[in-house]
């Protein structure tokens, strides 16, 4: 998709259709932001699949909008849950194939397998014949699937009660090896099994699952998933920053094209609109909106006040408005000077337009890079505080 839009953009710039170029760039970025991703999660009754649905959406069990959980099977039919911040991401909680009267092929027909981009098959103890049959049927239909062994925190806790001196890595290897052997016995030559605690995604091997998805999903689905993931590690935060940063050149190009239109004040208005939209997306993806900080506080038990104390950027932890962004930008003497010179350059025939475009592009680029850098730094500090990583324990 990116190459197609680059080619169109080049053609429109060559034809000097600059307003259309700006519109095309913004249209492309809007398509990226709203690119759909549909995830299916299935598994045996009580395996923790509904808890995983909630964890991926960044909310706790038994809170408003959460998938119902319990000691008995609570998912009796396919149920869709929309990501609370990114409605283009939809996670389906499916009944376990062992809890229905369908064979694996009929089960996939029943749940409408065509609409899902990939499947996560969850087990809390061992993978069974039903799981294997389902995986093979998914594979036959050319869809991706991933085995997740859940409730690893329960296994670690139980082992610690039995033997306080146990080696956690040895236990994890034993569980992974057992799951791998089970699946090999069921006909999978080299199965990948990811060990996960749905209550503590930053622990164990959930990040390995994410890395595998980043490698195997198409580019746009990969970016959508990455920006929607909870902040489970500093590496994920770094990847989010890089992905958001890759959009800045496109936004700067839209800014430059908008600056070519000979209407006083129009460029500044376009630039502000571009910057505000980008700041909102960054705050959502990095988990720095008021609502997402509150959810992080709920999940981790760290007070909202303590999390907010780690924020340095005036654009973090607050509602983003045009007035607030403009207020932040106008604190910069360089920004004021650049926008003033840009408006003045527009009065110079021919060459003035080129100068105005260059200044608009550079000013927008520098402003967005600075904002993204400061928000990412805040995210890292909040993450460290939330998980107690700066604690001696």
On the question of pLDDT at 108 being above 80, the answer is: yes
Model confidence at 73: pLDDT above 60: no
Instruction: For the full predicted model, state whether its pTM sits above 0.85.
Output: no
Mean per-residue pLDDT of the chain? 80
Nearest to 241 by CA among 229, 227, 230, 224: 227
* Per-residue pLDDT tens digits for 262-278: 444 434 455 778 888 88
Q: Name the band, by pLDDT with cuts 50, 70 and 90, for residue 294.
A: very high
Cβ atoms of 146 and 120 within 8 Å: the answer is: yes
The more confidently predicted of residues 282 and 6 is 282
Q: What is the pLDDT of residues 135-189, one digit of tens each?
A: 888 888 888 999 999 999 988 898 898 888 889 899 999 999 999 998 998 888 8
72 and 126 Cβ atoms separated by less than 8 Å: no
Q: Could you give the strand order of the β-sheet that contains 37-43, starting from the edge strand earlier in sequence?
A: 79-82, 89-93, 37-43, 118-123, 144-149, 193-195
Report residue 61's pLDDT band, with 50, 70 and 90 as the boundaries. confident
**Distance (Å, whole) CA 161 – CA 156:** 9
Return d(Cα 91, Cα 224) in angstroms, integer: 13
pLDDT of 298 over the 90 cut: no
Domains along the chain with CATH numbers: 2-33+239-386 (no CATH), 37-230 (3.40.50.300)
The whole-number pLDDT of residue 71 equals 55
User: Contact, 94 vs 111, CB < 8 A?
Assistant: yes
């Amino acid at each position: 998709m990116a190459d197609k839009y680059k080619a169109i953009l080049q053609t429109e710039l060559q034809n000097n259709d600059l307003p259309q170029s700006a519109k095309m760039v913004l249209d492309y970025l809007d398509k990226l932001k709203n690119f759909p991703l549909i995830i299916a999660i299935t598994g045996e009754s009580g395996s923790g699949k509904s808890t995983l649905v909630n964890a991926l959406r960044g909310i706790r069990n038994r809170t408003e909008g959460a998938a119902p959980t319990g000691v008995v099977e609570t998912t009796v039919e396919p149920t869709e849950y929309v990501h609370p911040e990114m409605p283009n991401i939809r996670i389906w909680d499916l009944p376990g194939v062992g809890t229905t009267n369908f064979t694996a092929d009929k089960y996939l027909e029943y749940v409408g397998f065509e609409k899902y981009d990939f499947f996560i098959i969850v087990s809390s103890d061992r993978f069974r014949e039903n799981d294997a049959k389902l995986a093979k049927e998914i594979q036959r239909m050319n869809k991706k699937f991933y085995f997740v062994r859940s409730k690893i925190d329960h296994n670690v806790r139980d082992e610690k009660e039995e033997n306080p001196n146990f080696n956690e890595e040895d236990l994890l290897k034993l569980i992974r090896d057992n799951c791998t052997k089970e699946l090999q016995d069921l006909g999978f030559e080299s199965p990948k099994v990811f060990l996960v605690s749905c209550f503590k995604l930053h622990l164990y091997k959930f990040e390995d699952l994410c890395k595998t998805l980043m490698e195997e999903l198409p580019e746009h689905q990969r970016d959508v998933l990455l920006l929607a993931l909870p902040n489970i590690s500093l590496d994920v935060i770094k990847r989010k920053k890089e992905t958001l940063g890759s959009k800045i050149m496109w936004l700067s190009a839209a800014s430059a094209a908008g600056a070519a239109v000979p209407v006083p004040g129009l460029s500044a208005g376009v630039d502000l609109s571009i910057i505000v939209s980008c700041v909102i997306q960054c705050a959502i993806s990095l988990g720095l909106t008021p609502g997402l900080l509150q959810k992080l506080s709920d999940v981790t038990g760290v007070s909202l006040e303590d999390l907010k104390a780690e924020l340095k950027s005036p654009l973090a932890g607050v509602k983003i408005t045009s007035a607030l962004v403009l207020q932040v930008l106008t604190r910069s003497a360089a920004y004021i000077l650049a926008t003033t010179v840009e408006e003045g350059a527009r009065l110079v025939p021919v060459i003035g337009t080129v100068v105005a475009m260059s200044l608009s592009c550079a000013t927008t680029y520098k402003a967005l890079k600075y904002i993204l850098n400061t928000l990412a730094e805040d995210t890292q500090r909040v993450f460290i505080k939330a998980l107690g990583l700066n604690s001696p324990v």
